Amino acid sequence: MFAKPRPRHGEKLEIDGLRLRLSVNRRARRVSVRIDARAGEAVVTAPSERAMPQAIDFALSRRTWIAEHLAKRTDSAPFAPGAEILFGGRPVRLIASGNAAAARLVPEHPDGPAIISGGEDDAFHRRVERLLRAEAKAALTARTQVHLERLDLKPVRVSIGDPASRWGSCSPHNRSIRYSWRVVMAPPEVLDYLAAHEVAHLVHADHSPAYWSVVHGLVGDHRPFRNGCATTARRYTPRGGSRL
């Protein structure tokens, strides 16, 4: 009678429709399961290959939990090493650092502008997104302040999110503006237009001719910038595009 092969690190299994990726982490104290939603699989971790059968059994006992979390996965392409994205309208290469370091922007990398990040799979994606969110917050806050000062308006609260259908929104009654972090991928003039668009709503809450007159006073002809938002939306917004 032959011994059954022991599951090994990096092996992928599919058991009754459940996709599992096996991982051995010598520093792990116990077996565990995490969701890699972007790959559409569960990552099963054990402290040794000897403990892997136990880890697989644990994963199967959490079948319902795994299925529910995988059902929530988005269809957006993940940020992955080797991919190329736009940052400020320019191509930037994503590079794995091979460690657990936070993502950082390296404009003068030998291979061209790059974002270098640690982590694997979802962890890599999260680090890159965290950097882009921080860059978006800084840039949008700065441009918002510029347009507020031009209109002699009081400060507002600026926040960053990932809304389903808009690049930005303004709430004049509580003096707050919320932006989508994804606009940081667009050229700077598009990002600036977005800030002007939302600040102008503090003067006119609608899209009347008077409102567009305020926008024109801030950025001139707005039509090219609106097209830039639409182009960025089609490429980077998984929900079908944002609008202004």
- C-alpha 20/C-alpha 34 separation (Å) is 10
Domains and CATH numbers, the chain: 12-70 (no CATH), 84-236 (3.30.2010.10)
- Give the angle subtended at the CA of 139 by the CAs of 134 and 142, to the nearest 5°: 125
Once rounded to an integer, what is the mean pLDDT over residues 66-80? 69
Once rounded to an integer, what is the mean pLDDT over residues 235-240? 42
- C-alpha 85/C-alpha 89 separation (Å) is 9
Read off the pLDDT of residues 195-217 as tens digits, 9 standing for 90 and up.
999 999 999 999 999 999 999 99
Read off the pLDDT of residues 123-175 as tens digits, 9 standing for 90 and up.
899 999 999 999 999 999 999 999 999 999 999 999 998 875 678 899 998 99
The reported pLDDT for the residue numbered 227 is 60
- C-alpha 97/C-alpha 176 separation (Å) is 37
* DSSP one-letter code for 101: P
Pull the structure tokens for residue 104. 């950082």
- C-alpha 100/C-alpha 119 separation (Å) is 5
Once rounded to an integer, what is the mean pLDDT over residues 172-179? 92
- C-alpha 129/C-alpha 61 separation (Å) is 32
Name the average pLDDT for the chain.
84
Read off the pLDDT of residues 103-126 as tens digits, 9 standing for 90 and up.
999 988 888 899 999 998 888 999
Pull the structure tokens for residue 206. 């609608």
Say whether pLDDT at 1 is over 50: no
Q: What percentage of the chain reaches a pLDDT higher than 90?
A: 48
Name the residue type at position 223.
Answer: R
Are 105 and 131 in contact by the 8 Å Cβ rule? The answer is: yes
Pick the range with the lowest mean pLDDT from 19-23, 54-58, 156-160, 225-229: 225-229
Half-sphere exposure of 166 (CA within 13 A, CB side): 13
- C-alpha 242/C-alpha 244 separation (Å) is 7
The reported pLDDT for the residue numbered 237 is 44
Once rounded to an integer, what is the mean pLDDT over residues 18-40? 83
Q: How many residues does the chain have?
A: 244
Q: What percentage of the chain reaches a pLDDT higher than 70?
A: 85
Half-sphere exposure of 242 (CA within 13 A, CB side): 25
- C-alpha 162/C-alpha 179 separation (Å) is 8
- Determine if residue 110 is left, alpha or beta; phi over 0 gives left, psi from -120 to 50 gives alpha, anything else beta: alpha
**Secondary structure element (H or E) that encloses residue 31, with its range:** none
Say whether pLDDT at 84 is over 70: yes
Say whether pLDDT at 230 is over 80: no
Say whether pLDDT at 222 is over 90: no
158: nearest Cα among 170, 176, 171: 176
> Does the CA dihedral 217-222-226-232 come out positive or negative?
negative
Q: Which residue has the tokens 């932006």?
A: 179
Say whether pLDDT at 241 is over 70: no
Pull the structure tokens for residue 34. 């995490």
**Model confidence band, residue 12 (pLDDT cutoffs 50, 70, 90):** confident
The reported pLDDT for the residue numbered 111 is 80
Once rounded to an integer, what is the mean pLDDT over residues 61-68? 85
* DSSP one-letter code for 43: E
Say whether pLDDT at 2 is over 60: no
Are 217 and 152 in contact by the 8 Å Cβ rule? The answer is: no
pTM of the model: 0.66
> Does the CA dihedral 24-13-82-77 come out positive or negative?
negative
